Structure 1
């Protein structure tokens, strides 16, 4: 359990520093350190990450570091996409979800490792319908594999929306919270079909520890070089993605 609590702290730290990565850490911690079934872990991941992200977004919102236009056009369609993704998950096994999850981790690693061009030129606002489609797509992925999608949201807000990194992080946290709670609501109705339920004491403990990590990460974020953090996190994602792929391939034989 000590290792799991350290994992919870790292989940919050990642969200506070980068506005992403929390759920990519949560599912492996719940599955491999606490031994939970994949579908239960994915459901609890959505609750845990949603709670940490919501509480972590409050300091950003108070400092005016939330772009409400993107919350509206990206976050609300993302909630619908998340519900759809959670509904689709009923047609596949937990092992298929974990394999998809591992592939998403490797995609996230590539996204995080790419250098972020910092152009001083003023970017035009992305058209609303394109932002809506982005939100739907990321939301569907969120519901299907239990990820908050911050690793896709942050680059989209920075590269496509032209937001500064800290504004993108604050906005991402609020969008993650909206989408995660929507996906969790759907999983509440799916878990009984598998004889599973949510372990609320564990989830609440993770939220409490993770929120501390999130506040700590938010303070560190303004002092540490973002590119180095992103690349270090990308390396960690590659290791975890390969580990999960290996575990599933071994169990499949």
Structure 2
């Protein structure tokens, strides 16, 4: 299973490179089910893996002129604040066992995986349905960008997910960016969010297996290189529905496994 996990890690970067999101939604299931890592620790690992992979994609998109720094900053600053509050305050106060129903313990790890599965399903619907990425706008709505940035920060902080599936629509509709610029700018935001969250985890003493983390990140980096190159030739909008169906199936699998086969 571990060898399959290393190969699956390539898909993390491949997704980020092609459509600017979706990679983080795969990272947690790969770490938890293929590498048997505790879900809470997996959220920390996910922040590093997704963050460092997104950074590598930023350089390529910067050279292609796809980074809009101002929009990224309006989004990222409130997002970072939410991340720090969630990871350094709220998560630490959640007990390991929340409550029990007929001898079934609802634990923190169970809650993380169920919420993550629901998030995956919500993300899949946004990828599957067709949207018009060239909607006209009167200009950038920085207030809306900041508000959505706060929401994405909550998602990133609690689940270790970059939130690209939320970031890209926000950049399309509220920053009035074309699809390729939304993808590139999304990677910058994901890097900022993920790196801040991971540094916060280091500050509170989260144990990190660095050789393992660097290996997974290296595989994801390979996927990012492939995805970024393919993005020059392939239409990300056409790939999203395929990836969305894959994410939907994985989300359903997680719910079934967590509830019926615990």
TM-score, length of structure 1 as denominator length: 0.92
Equivalent residue number for residue 156 of structure 1: 170
Equivalent residue number for residue 19 of structure 2: 18
Partner residue of 2:109 out of 71, 90, 94: 94
Correspondence list, 1:85-124, <5 A = 85-86=86-87, 87-90=89-92, 91=94, 93-119=108-134, 121=136, 123-124=137-138
Equivalent residue number for residue 241 of structure 1: 251
Between the aligned partners of 1:24 and 1:191, the Cα distance in structure 2 is: 25
Cα deviation for residue 186 of structure 1 reads 2.5
Equivalent residue number for residue 225 of structure 1: 235
Partner residue of 1:175 out of 155, 179, 189: 189
Task: Determine if contact 1:67/1:171 at 8 Å carries over to the other structure.
Answer: yes
Task: Determine if contact 1:14/1:217 at 8 Å carries over to the other structure.
Answer: yes
* SS of equivalent to 1:163: coil
Q: For each residue in 1:73-100, what CA deviation from the matched residue of structure 2 results, as whole angstroms up to 9, or x when unmatched?
A: 0012211111122232231512111111
Between the aligned partners of 1:191 and 1:104, the Cα distance in structure 2 is: 27
Between the aligned partners of 1:202 and 1:139, the Cα distance in structure 2 is: 26
Equivalent residue number for residue 51 of structure 1: 52
Equivalent residue number for residue 70 of structure 2: 69
* SS of equivalent to 1:148: coil
Between the aligned partners of 2:247 and 2:205, the Cα distance in structure 1 is: 28
Q: Which runs of 5+ in 1 are unaligned?
A: none
Q: For each residue in 1:53-83, what CA deviation from the matched residue of structure 2 results, as whole angstroms up to 9, or x when unmatched?
A: 0111111112221011111100122111111
Runs of 4 or more, structure 1, over 4 Å off, are 189-192
Q: For each residue in 1:169-197, what CA deviation from the matched residue of structure 2 results, as whole angstroms up to 9, or x when unmatched?
A: 110001000000111122234565xxxx2
Partner residue of 1:166 out of 159, 163, 180: 180
Q: For each residue in 1:197-243, what CA deviation from the matched residue of structure 2 results, as whole angstroms up to 9, or x when unmatched?
A: 22111111111121111111011112223232100011011111011
Equivalent residue number for residue 33 of structure 1: 34
Q: Which runs of 5+ in 2 are unaligned?
A: 96-107
Higher helix share: 1
Q: For each residue in 1:148-179, what CA deviation from the matched residue of structure 2 results, as whole angstroms up to 9, or x when unmatched?
A: 00011011111332211110111000100000
| Aligned pairs, number | 247
Task: Determine if contact 1:12/1:210 at 8 Å carries over to the other structure.
Answer: yes
| Root mean square deviation, CA, Å | 1.6
Equivalent residue number for residue 136 of structure 1: 150
Equivalent residue number for residue 3 of structure 2: 2
Between the aligned partners of 2:247 and 2:46, the Cα distance in structure 1 is: 17
Structure-2 change in CA distance of 1:65 and 1:245 (3 Å): same
Cα deviation for residue 127 of structure 1 reads 2.6
Task: Determine if contact 2:141/2:174 at 8 Å carries over to the other structure.
Answer: no
TM-score, length of structure 2 as denominator length: 0.89
